[in-house]
């Protein structure tokens, strides 16, 4: 492909008026995506956004690329079909927690297992927004909503642990409001050949404001989250005064103060390729006092076996071949 | 009033058979006995000898039921003859029963005066016990009804293979070839076609090839030595009728070829997405073997299969998905999206007896209501049904033309019988087939004649659009909640389909007088039985015609005018009257249903009796 001129974020904006609620986290995600698309530099006609149903699923209307707003939960399956037909396209899939983890959970599992070369953006706001605020599969226990007036009793699913179980080869997490972080994660997801899942913690200002607590707040994000970078020590806190130590006995990370609870050298370095530690990282934040890991939690290169990530373009059947098939004895 | 077929009465009517021009042979045994193979090889031999034929494989849903049990019985029926053969035959002239269970579950298919060959080696206390029988089921007092040839096939196969040094187990596996050899002898058919096949198939293992061929020849020689013959004379076969290009083909294989033909005729790749389900899976298998032009995808479920197909259509390939009854239920959500997003899509439903899992290997035509009406919203799709195995090829090309012309989904209704039945086919000359035109060169906006928007796939520069399931403005394509626009779009979706319907070359197949006392309407796999039954009645002086509808929705133009020319209209189908009700609603005629819903194809004689009843046939 040739690129005539440097693309800008505005080249990826459609003429459609954006209709999310004022203050919705989706605006920030849209901004980051447009910026990253411009950096990637593929012309808009080679880029396709496929979405399911929900607030997040309106995303394609606000981009100048090709877009297909499909059915609730089915976007990964539709996107797989697009890729089967034309593997050369740059295909992104956008869905919410209901879309990807409830009605479309099966499709997400299989698209990850097959490692179809897609960029899957999970806008997780832990609530059903478009249907007016019911608890979702990622809502914490006790979520009061129109369908759970006394508080929900269902434990939430951890999207990244689910994805690891499905065999995902790229897993990342970021936060809508962290514009110094989200674009970089999106660019990494795009660069990965295979299925890349990015969980974006997204604030629903109407039905679940503050669902992710301090992570979304500038003042507290440094204590509430740990930004993991391949090869670097996993330190967090305002001045890096906190860190993660891997506890081999429990196979989990625990929070420690280097120089106080442990030697500075004991703070673990992040290894994206380590599948077992990725599981431990994905679980961080499930217990009180733990930070939530953000960044690329896991990425591994394909092992070279034939897979759907490496699809070639199918050529139409030649007439001579058809003639031969028709004449063949049964 | 519903005419329910009375099988007893129909049997009394079965008439003079001395002038018959065909023979029906039926093999029955354990699903592990190689019954289907013996049947297919018998058919090949008959075809090689110049016969016209049609076959019906019948197999249980169980893969390998316990040996010798009645629920593990598999059967294969072949009708072959010197003239056009339209069905696998009502009754068998000859039955080969590999064990007591096969005998008791199949003897009723043998006509009076027919011949049954039984493997005496299995007709012992152990065999009777497995079939839950107290004693030998061969009733000697029934000798008047059929003739029995008892031969210890098992022992004779073992003897024939002694010299080959194959184990007892392997030798027993060749029983089907021994029985086939005898069946070929009895039907005066050569073994040469089958011997050639054995040599090819087992080329990698000469011992197995030689052993199987020896079993075949031994069975044939046994018949000759014992001077065995069928109880009635065989029809004389014309040897020169068939074109040299003729081949045998099943509905499934014809449909697979039709699908790839669409790709070749439209110069587009084909994407085939489906989820395993009986009996539609065979289509996935056939397409997965294609050398080029098609990408098959085994999806995680039925919904993913149609969703991926929709994605593949959106991306500009010929997209096909297939399933059977319950699977089509799951695909209705996707059908709605394809209608709304205006994408061409072909959905094959290989119907089986329902509801739910029902009888998955048995044919029925009971998904018509679902195909025509079964969706949310006003969501019209075209529905086509092939009439014969051969037509399974052509219907796919018709479906593609229609889907692309109207930019909408088309459902093709096949069934378990049509998919499995094998008959003669002279493949068309490709040069004679019209290309399947696509809209890729068209300009933006709706075509004023066809009302469709062109098919713009992602990757096309300067044409980036957003599509989806939300209602869109008739002109701009942008999302619209305007009440008048929605009403106009509902009308437009129906109208563009109606305008496109003309691309189906032969929406109906007509046989018989242009006017008369009775018009029998049918659709799908019942073609052969209805055609033969109506011809038989015409032969007895009745003014009866047969109209087979290939394009079930929208109904072909002028159907009401055709109906006007007949005093009575009947509709014969393997359901409780689904097309009948549609025809009544659309033509306001008192269409009489002729229904059968027992998991089997129509018999010609029962159909003849039912139709005769409607026109007061006294013979």
Residues in B closer than 8 angstroms to A325, CB to CB, are 257, 260, 290-291
What is the structure's pLDDT at B617? 65
Q: What is the domain partition of chain B in residue ranges?
A: 21-225, 248-432, 508-615
Residue A117 reports pLDDT greater than 80: yes
Does residue A323 sit at the B interface (CB-CB below 8 Å)? yes
What is the structure's pLDDT at A4? 57
ipTM over 0.90: yes
What is the structure's pLDDT at B230? 78
Over range B92-103, report the average pLDDT.
96
Confidence of residue B8 (pLDDT cuts 50, 70, 90): very low
Which one of B301, B315, B317 would you mutate to disrupt binding with A, by most A Cβ within 10 Å of its Cβ?
B315
Over range B589-607, report the average pLDDT.
96
Give the chain B residue nearest A62 (alpha carbons): B466
Q: Could you tell me which of A120, A117, A60 has the C-alpha nearest to residue A92?
A: A120
Partner-chain contact B313 A327, CB within 8 Å: no
Q: What is the domain partition of chain A in residue ranges?
A: 9-211+300-310
Q: Tell me the pLDDT tens digit for each residue of A161-175.
A: 999 999 999 999 999
Which one of A82, A88, A321 would you mutate to disrupt binding with B, by most B Cβ within 10 Å of its Cβ?
A82
pLDDT exceeding 70 applies to what percent of chain B? 93
Partner-chain contact A81 B271, CB within 8 Å: yes
Over range B255-269, report the average pLDDT.
98
Give the chain B residue nearest A109 (alpha carbons): B300
Residue written as token pair 């293992």: B205
Which one of B311, B312, B464 would you mutate to disrupt binding with A, by most A Cβ within 10 Å of its Cβ?
B311
> Where would I find the beta strands (DSSP E) of B85-223?
92-97, 110-119, 146-151
What is the structure's pLDDT at B62? 77
3-state secondary structure chain A: CCCCCCCCHHHHECCCCCCCCCCCCHHHHHHHHHHHHHHHCCCHHHEEEEECCCCHHHHHHHECCEEEECCCCCHHHHHHHHHHHCCCCEEEEEEEHHHHHHHCHHHHHHHHHHCCCCEEEEEECCEECCCCCEECCCCCCCCCECCECCCCCCCCCCHHHHHHHCCCCEEEEEECCCCCCHHHHHHHHHHCCCCEEEEEECCECCCECCCCHHHHCCCCHHHHEEEECECCECEECCCCCEEEEEECCCCEEEEECECCCECHHHCCEECCCCHHHHHHHHHCCCCCCCCEEEEEEEECCCCCCCCHHHCCCCCCCCHHHHHHHHHCCC
Q: What DSSP state is assigned to residue B98?
A: S
Q: Tell me the pLDDT tens digit for each residue of B109-144.
A: 999 989 999 999 999 999 999 999 998 998 766 677
Residues in B closer than 8 angstroms to A84, CB to CB, are 271, 273, 295, 297, 308, 311-312, 315, 317
Residue written as token pair 């593997």: A87
Partner-chain contact B264 A74, CB within 8 Å: no
Looking only at the bridges linking them, the beta strands covering B52-58 and B73-81 are antiparallel
Which pairs count as long-range contacts for B284-290, CB under 8 Å and 24+ apart, including other chains?
Answer: B284/B322, B286/B252, B286/B253, B286/B255, B286/B256, B287/B256, B287/B259, B287/B260, B290/A317, B290/A325, B290/B256, B290/B260
What is the structure's pLDDT at B10? 38
Nearest to A316 among B263, B299, B334 (CB): B263
Partner-chain contact A107 B300, CB within 8 Å: yes
Partner-chain contact A81 B314, CB within 8 Å: yes
What is the structure's pLDDT at B605? 94
What is the structure's pLDDT at A217? 84
Does residue A322 sit at the B interface (CB-CB below 8 Å)? yes
What is the structure's pLDDT at B165? 83
Shortest distance between the Cα of B336 and any Cα of chain A, in A, equals: 10
Residue A49 reports pLDDT greater than 60: yes
Q: What is the mean pLDDT of chain A?
A: 95
pLDDT exceeding 70 applies to what percent of chain A? 98
What is the structure's pLDDT at B6? 45
Q: Mark which residues 171-210 of A lie under 8 Å from B by CB.
A: none
Residues in A closer than 8 angstroms to B312, CB to CB, are 81-82, 84-85
Residue B18 reports pLDDT greater than 50: no
Residue B15 reports pLDDT greater than 80: no
Give the chain A residue nearest B468 (alpha carbons): A69
Over range B540-567, report the average pLDDT.
97
3.40.50.1100, 3.40.50.2300, 3.40.50.620, 3.40.50.970: which CATH number matches B248-432?
3.40.50.970
Nearest to A86 among B297, B316, B466 (CB): B316
What is the structure's pLDDT at A305? 83
Partner-chain contact B260 A89, CB within 8 Å: no
Q: What does pTM read for this prediction? A: 0.94
Partner-chain contact A89 B290, CB within 8 Å: no
Same fold yes or no, B21-225 and B248-432: no
Shortest distance between the Cα of A306 and any Cα of chain B, in A, equals: 14
Q: Mark which residues 47-106 of A lie under 8 Å from B by CB.
A: 47-48, 50, 53, 60-61, 63-71, 74, 77-86, 88-89, 106
Shortest distance between the Cα of B607 and any Cα of chain A, in A, equals: 32
Residue A263 reports pLDDT greater than 70: yes
Residues in B closer than 8 angstroms to A115, CB to CB, are none
Q: Which CATH fold topology does B21-225 show?
A: Pyruvate-ferredoxin Oxidoreductase; domain 3 (3.40.920)
Partner-chain contact A316 B293, CB within 8 Å: yes
What is the structure's pLDDT at B50? 81
Give the chain A residue nearest B253 (alpha carbons): A330
Rounded to 5 degrees, what are φ and ψ at A32?
-65, -40
Q: Could you tell me which of A300, A298, A299, A302 has the C-alpha nearest to residue A282?
A: A298
Residues in A closer than 8 angstroms to B299, CB to CB, are 77, 110
What is the structure's pLDDT at B398? 97
Architecture of domain A9-211+300-310: 3-Layer(aba) Sandwich (3.40)
Does residue A325 sit at the B interface (CB-CB below 8 Å)? yes
Over range B81-96, report the average pLDDT.
92
Which one of B308, B337, B376, B467 would you mutate to disrupt binding with A, by most A Cβ within 10 Å of its Cβ?
B308
Partner-chain contact A110 B304, CB within 8 Å: yes
Confidence of residue B391 (pLDDT cuts 50, 70, 90): very high
Partner-chain contact B304 A74, CB within 8 Å: yes
What is the structure's pLDDT at A304? 80
Partner-chain contact A81 B307, CB within 8 Å: yes
Shortest distance between the Cα of A165 and any Cα of chain B, in A, equals: 16
Q: Tell me the pLDDT tens digit for each residue of B499-542.
A: 999 999 899 999 999 999 999 999 999 999 999 999 999 999 99
Cβ-based contacts under 8 A for chains A and B: 206
Over range B142-161, report the average pLDDT.
90
Partner-chain contact A82 B273, CB within 8 Å: no
Over range B338-356, report the average pLDDT.
97
What is the structure's pLDDT at B242? 56
Residue B235 reports pLDDT greater than 80: no
Which of B162-176, B229-243, B318-332, B365-379 is the least confident region? B229-243
Shortest distance between the Cα of A119 and any Cα of chain B, in A, equals: 16
Over range B415-429, report the average pLDDT.
92
Shortest distance between the Cα of A64 and any Cα of chain B, in A, equals: 7
Q: Are A78 and A57 a contacting pair, CB within 8 Å?
A: no
Confidence of residue B14 (pLDDT cuts 50, 70, 90): very low
Shortest distance between the Cα of B504 and any Cα of chain A, in A, equals: 22
Q: B10 vs B82, which has greater pLDDT? A: B82
Residue B2 reports pLDDT greater than 50: no
Which of A11-15, A126-130, A162-166, A301-305 is the least confident region? A301-305
What is the structure's pLDDT at B477? 86
Over range A80-99, report the average pLDDT.
98
Shortest distance between the Cα of B403 and any Cα of chain A, in A, equals: 18
What is the structure's pLDDT at B376? 96
Partner-chain contact B261 A70, CB within 8 Å: no
Architecture of domain B508-615: 3-Layer(aba) Sandwich (3.40)
Partner-chain contact B260 A322, CB within 8 Å: yes
Residue B19 reports pLDDT greater than 80: no
Q: A161 vs B617, which has greater pLDDT? A: A161
Residue B7 reports pLDDT greater than 50: no
Residues in A closer than 8 angstroms to B270, CB to CB, are 314, 317
Residue written as token pair 């500009």: B316
Q: Are A273 and A300 a contacting pair, CB within 8 Å?
A: yes
Shortest distance between the Cα of A269 and any Cα of chain B, in A, equals: 38
Residues in A closer than 8 angstroms to B316, CB to CB, are 85-86
């Amino acid at each position: 492909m040739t690129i005539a001129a440097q693309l800008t974020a505005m080249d990826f904006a459609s003429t459609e008026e954006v209709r999310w609620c004022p203050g919705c986290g989706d605006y920030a995600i849209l901004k980051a995506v447009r910026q990253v698309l411009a950096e990637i530099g593929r012309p808009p006609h080679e880029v396709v956004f496929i979405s399911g149903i929900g607030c997040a699923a309106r995303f394609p209307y606000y981009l100048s690329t090709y877009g297909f707003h499909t059915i609730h939960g089915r976007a990964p399956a539709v996107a797989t079909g697009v890729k089967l037909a034309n593997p050369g396209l740059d295909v992104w899939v956008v869905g919410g927690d209901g879309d990807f983890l409830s009605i479309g959970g099966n499709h997400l599992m299989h698209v990850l297992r097959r490692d179809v070369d897609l960029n899957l953006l999970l806008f997780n706001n832990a609530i059903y927004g478009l249907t007016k605020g019911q608890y979702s599969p990622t809502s914490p226990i006790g979520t009061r909503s129109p369908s759970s007036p006394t508080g929900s009793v269902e434990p939430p699913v951890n999207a990244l642990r689910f994805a690891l179980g499905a065999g995902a080869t790229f897993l990342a997490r970021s936060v809508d409001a962290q514009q110094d972080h989200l674009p970089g994660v999106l660019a990494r997801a795009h660069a990965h050949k295979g299925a890349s899942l990015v969980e974006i913690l997204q604030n629903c200002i109407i039905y679940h404001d503050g669902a992710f607590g301090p992570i979304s707040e500038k003042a507290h994000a440094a204590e509430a989250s740990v930004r993991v970078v391949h090869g670097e020590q996993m330190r967090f806190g305002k001045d890096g005064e906190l860190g993660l130590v891997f506890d081999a006995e429990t196979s989990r990370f625990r929070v420690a103060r280097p120089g106080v609870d442990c030697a500075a050298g004991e703070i673990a370095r992040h290894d994206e390729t380590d599948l077992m530690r990725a599981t431990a990282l994905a679980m961080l934040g499930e217990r009180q006092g733990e930070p939530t890991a953000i960044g690329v939690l896991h990425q591994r290169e394909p092992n070279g076996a034939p897979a759907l990530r490496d699809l070639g373009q199918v050529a139409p059947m030649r007439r001579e071949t058809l003639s031969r098939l028709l004449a063949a004895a049964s | 009033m519903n005419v329910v077929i009375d099988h007893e009465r129909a049997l009394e009517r079965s008439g003079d058979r001395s002038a018959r021009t065909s023979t029906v042979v039926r093999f029955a045994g354990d699903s592990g006995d190689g019954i289907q193979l013996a049947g297919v090889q018998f058919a090949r031999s008959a075809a090689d000898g110049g016969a016209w034929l049609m076959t019906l494989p019948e197999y249980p849903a169980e893969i390998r039921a316990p040996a010798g049990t009645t629920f593990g019985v598999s059967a294969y029926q072949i009708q072959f003859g010197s003239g056009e053969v339209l069905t696998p035959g009502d009754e068998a002239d000859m039955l080969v029963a590999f064990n007591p269970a096969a005998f008791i579950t199949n003897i009723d298919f043998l006509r009076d005066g027919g011949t049954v060959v039984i493997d005496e080696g299995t007709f012992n206390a152990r065999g009777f016990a497995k079939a839950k029988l107290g004693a030998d089921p061969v009733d000697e007092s029934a000798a008047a009804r059929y003739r029995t040839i008892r031969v210890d096939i098992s022992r004779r196969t073992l003897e024939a293979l002694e010299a080959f040094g194959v184990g007892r187990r392997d030798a027993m596996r060749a029983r089907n070839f021994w029985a086939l050899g005898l069946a070929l002898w009895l039907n005066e058919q050569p073994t040469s076609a089958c011997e050639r096949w054995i040599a090819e198939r087992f080329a990698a293992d000469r011992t197995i090839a030689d052993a199987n061929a020896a079993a075949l020849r031994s069975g044939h020689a046994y018949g000759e030595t014992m001077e065995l013959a069928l109880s009635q004379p065989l029809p004389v076969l014309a040897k020169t009728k068939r074109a040299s290009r003729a081949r045998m083909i099943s509905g499934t294989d014809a449909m697979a070829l039709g699908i790839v033909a669409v790709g070749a005729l439209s110069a587009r790749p084909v994407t085939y997405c489906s989820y395993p389900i009986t009996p539609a899976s065979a289509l996935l298998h056939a397409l997965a073997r294609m050398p080029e032009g098609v990408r098959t995808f085994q999806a995680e479920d039925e919904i993913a299969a149609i969703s991926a197909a929709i994605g593949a259509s959106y991306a500009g390939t010929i997209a096909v998905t297939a399933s059977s009854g319950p699977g089509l239920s799951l695909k209705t959500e996707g059908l709605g999206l394809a209608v709304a997003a205006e994408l061409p899509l072909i959905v094959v439903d290989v119907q089986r007896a329902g509801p739910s899992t029902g009888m998955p290997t048995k044919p029925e035509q009971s998904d018509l209501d679902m195909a025509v009406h079964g969706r949310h919203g006003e969501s019209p799709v075209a529905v086509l049904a092939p009439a014969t195995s051969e037509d399974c090829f052509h219907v796919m090309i018709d479906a593609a033309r229609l889907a692309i012309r109207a930019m909408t989904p088309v459902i093709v209704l096949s069934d378990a019988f049509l998919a499995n039945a094998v008959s003669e086919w002279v493949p068309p000359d490709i040069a004679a087939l019209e290309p399947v035109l696509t809209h890729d060169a068209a300009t933006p906006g709706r075509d004023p004649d066809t009302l469709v928007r062109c098919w713009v796939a992602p990757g096309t520069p300067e044409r980036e659009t957003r599509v989806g399931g939300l209602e869109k403005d008739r002109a701009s394509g942008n999302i619209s909640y305007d009440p008048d626009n929605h009403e106009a779009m509902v009308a437009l979706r129906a109208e563009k389909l109606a305008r496109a319907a003309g691309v189906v070359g032969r929406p109906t197949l007509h046989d018989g007088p242009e006017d008369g006392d009775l018009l029998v309407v049918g659709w799908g796999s019942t073609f052969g039985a209805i055609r033969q039954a109506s011809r038989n009645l015409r032969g007895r002086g009745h003014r009866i015609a047969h109209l087979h509808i290939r394009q079930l929705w929208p109904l072909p133009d002028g159907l009401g005018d055709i109906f006007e020319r007949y005093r009575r209209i009947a509709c014969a189908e393997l359901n409780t009257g689904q097309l009948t009700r549609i025809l009544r609603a659309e033509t306001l005629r008192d269409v009489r249903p002729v229904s059968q819903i027992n998991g089997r194809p129509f018999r010609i004689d029962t159909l003849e009796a039912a139709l005769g009843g409607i026109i007061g046939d006294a013979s």
